[in-house]
Structure 1
Amino acid sequence: MTPSYFRPSVDAMTGYTPGEQPKPGTKIIKLNTNENPYPPSPKAMEVLRTLDSEWLRRYPNPYADDFRHSVSQVFDIPHDWIIVGNGSDEILNVVIRACTEEKNKIVYPTPTYVLYRTLAEIQPTQVLEVPYNDDFSLPIAALVKAQGAVTFIASPNSPSGHVVPIHDLRQLATQLSGVLLIDEAYVDFAADSALQLVREFPNVMVLRTLSKGYSLAGLRLGFGIANPQLLSGLFKVKDSYNIDAIACAVGTVAMLDQEYKNECAQKVKNSRVKLTKSLAELGFQVWDSQANFVLVKPQPTNAETLYLGLKEKGILVRYFKQPGLADKLRITVGTDEQNQLLLMTLASLMQG
């Protein structure tokens, strides 16, 4: 028997399974990983066309200061309240490394972003998953009772698309002794944000990404906003030069082009309304969403059968074969043209 080279916790974990990523140029309608269907800011693309080779020869700024200052300008937050990551996933990992150990735990309501569990399993810490209530209201009492070293709340949540009311988050922050990390990856498609809570509570961090609203999933750039006292420990454990110079330069310009980002986000929101109505007319149960996707339950057709049928027709959606989700699909909002092809194909498959 070949010996293992890994820690027992690594041997035991299954690892994160990303959504399927076909090769660029593949003729497929990709509605499975919540990318923005519109291109990035033209101003950001111009940065790539005028790239100075000196940016590549030298190490980048270790704190991505140009990008931090752009975030500071847009959100009226001091730049030293901002930490930048190689995607928001890196910041999740940094928080877990800095704040947890074997004797404490990471807590979050489920169903939610499955990477939380994967990142927690890498570290020597415990995980407590608290089921959402049937109406996706936040189980505040159970989360408070758990008193996690870190409590993750995704809002808007994936895969449900619901937003946690700010008064619930405020109540939770008031009663938690550990870090409350509010993951707002999809906030650009929502009506509200919890950003104000970072000024009220020293244990609250709000996490953002450029992957969704800014159409820069391939760039891998995210940021967290929190009191500098909380960030001080995170800076100790982040990689020394974690943000490359190109990502910093492109992200800085994209962040400042709020007008373009907001225009694209509004188009997605308009399409979401139409898609939700059309799916309901096809007989799907559709949950209200404030993200760039919708969670649906086909009735009476089997969800996995529809997922496989769509894939065979060149349309990818997300299917989670796990308790509570095995009868549902998560569908990214595409362009109106993509959504129409999706609806036509769904109607055909259900009739067949």
Structure 2
Amino acid sequence: MTAGRGRRYERMHLSDMKGYTPGTQPGAASIKLNTNENPFPPSPKVMAALANVSARALQRYPDPIASGFREAAANLHHVPLDQIIATNGGDELLRLALTTYVDPGRAIGVVTPGYGVYSVLSHIHQAPLSPVPLQEDWTLPSSATDQWNDDGAQLVILTNPHAPSGTLFPFDVVERVAANFSGVLLIDEAYVDFVEPALRYDTTALASRYPNILLLRTLSKGYSLAGIRLAYGLGCSKLIAPMLEKTKDSYNIDAIAQQLGRVALEDRAYACLCWQQVLQERRRLTSGLEELGFKVERSQANFVLASPPRHSPSNARELKDKLQDRDIYTRWFDEQELHDRLRISIGTSDENIALLTALRDLTCAASEAESDWQSGEHYT
């Protein structure tokens, strides 16, 4: 008899767990609007730095605490170096937060719907979720903090701007949670670079005022560096020190990512130009979808959440499949609150025109005679 035949080796509570399902990764020629990447390339200075990576940098272990990158982040936010930790993507910071701040069996506060990785990490850590459903207008119920405290949550994760709606929680709402929650408030700001200038506020100032706030920033979205997996956390030194000194991996950021990330943060001017272009395309895409009869949530991220028009012969899932047949990839979620919606990443002008053209054909828009997507007049 073969040893171990039929035996399960994973921990018991993982046996029936469903892991996170990433967005489909199509070929390079496809129009990829399903994973919220930045449609514009990284800074030319970043690409020059990549070309100049030395053999020695690959031969040796990297700086274990990513000092150069952390200094760039600290300078950007005008905070001391000991308030910054570099992580292997935003997901590592989430995992570190659970490992460092949450005892197994204690709750984690989240809002629903939300980023699927939160529930996966909570299951792995054996920390139950304390979910608060957002209201129909995507606002946070005033009772949310009371529920999290009553459930004994040690950590709350608040995505702001929210995903998948793209809406922004106002400053006073975030501050109220920080002031009244008894544990650590992790604000996942993966999409913060795409907030309209008139709506932006300084969460770094909040983090300096409330020692229980931990900010998550990533270079995947705003700096077009999803491929190198680099993010950082910002908070008071009391929050950062345990992760930096105890719970993170020994060499969690590779040498190439450290070097490119530092250059990207230092060339913020280029990134800002890209953000402005994303905002322009988001406005145009939103307008185009609404003219086709879609209901579009007011997004402050690099994606929109849209419901098909009533006259559409296809529901959201069917539209996703039909778009994919045309080599255009969007995201549909098999969740009750999201069944009738598509999440669409902001693409380049040409990609957005192609999407709108396809949707016009697929939804049989009543105002077909007035549509001008083929000519691209909305993008002049």
Equivalent residues in 2 for 1:90-109 (5 A)? 90-109=92-111
Q: 1:350, CA displacement in angstroms?
A: 1.3
**Aligned to 1:254, which of 243, 252, 264?**
264
The alignment status of 1:314 with 2:316, answered yes or no, reads no
The 5 Å alignment of 1:1-352 reads 2-23=6-27, 25=28, 27-147=29-149, 148-191=153-196, 192-193=200-201, 194-235=203-244, 236-300=246-310, 301=312, 302-351=315-364
Listed one character per residue, the Cα deviations across residues 75-98 of structure 1 (whole Å, up to 9, x for unaligned) are 111111001100011000000111
Report the Cα offset of residue 72 of structure 1: 1.2
1:126 deviation in Å? 1.2
Question: Quick check: 2:148–2:181 contact (8 Å CA) kept in 1?
Answer: no
- The number of aligned residues is 350
Checking the alignment, whether the CA contact within 8 Å between 1:84 and 1:223 is kept in structure 2 is yes
1:250-295 superposed Cα distances (whole Å, 9 cap, x missing partner): 0100011011000001000001001101100000000000000000
| Contact persistence 1:211–1:218 (CA under 8 A) | yes
What's the secondary structure of 1:139's corresponding residue?
coil
Q: After TM superposition, which residue ranges in structure 1, 4 or more long, deviate above 4 angstroms?
A: none
SS at match of 2:37: coil
State how far apart, in whole Å, the 1-side matches of 2:95 and 2:104 are.
16
Shift of residue 143, structure 1, vs aligned partner = 3.0
TM-score normalised by structure 2 residue count: 0.90
Q: What TM-score do you get using the length of structure 1 for normalisation?
A: 0.97
CA contact (8 A) 1:37 1:334 kept: yes
What is the deviation of 1:233?
1.9
SS of corresponding position for 2:163 = coil
**Gapped regions of structure 2 (runs ≥ 5):** 366-380
**Same amino acid, percent of matched pairs:** 43
The one-letter amino acid paired with 2:136 is D
Contact 1:112 1:157 in 2 (8 A): yes
TM-aligned CA deviation for residue 102 of structure 1: 2.9
SS in 2 for 1:304: helix
How many Å separate the matches in 1 of 2:294 and 2:64?
A: 48
- The structural deviation recorded for 1:30 is 0.2
Deviation at 1:6, TM superposition (A): 1.1
For structure 1, the 5+ residue unaligned runs are none
* Structure number, greater radius of gyration: 2
Deviation sequence 1:304-349 (CA, Å, 0-9, x none): 1100000000100000011100110000010111100000000111
SS of equivalent to 1:218: helix
1:175 is matched by which residue type in structure 2? N
CA contact (8 A) 1:162 1:290 kept: yes
C-alpha distance in 2, partners of 1:144/1:49? 52
Kindly indicate whether the alpha-carbon contact (under 8 Å) linking 2:217 and 2:231 is maintained by their aligned counterparts in 1: yes
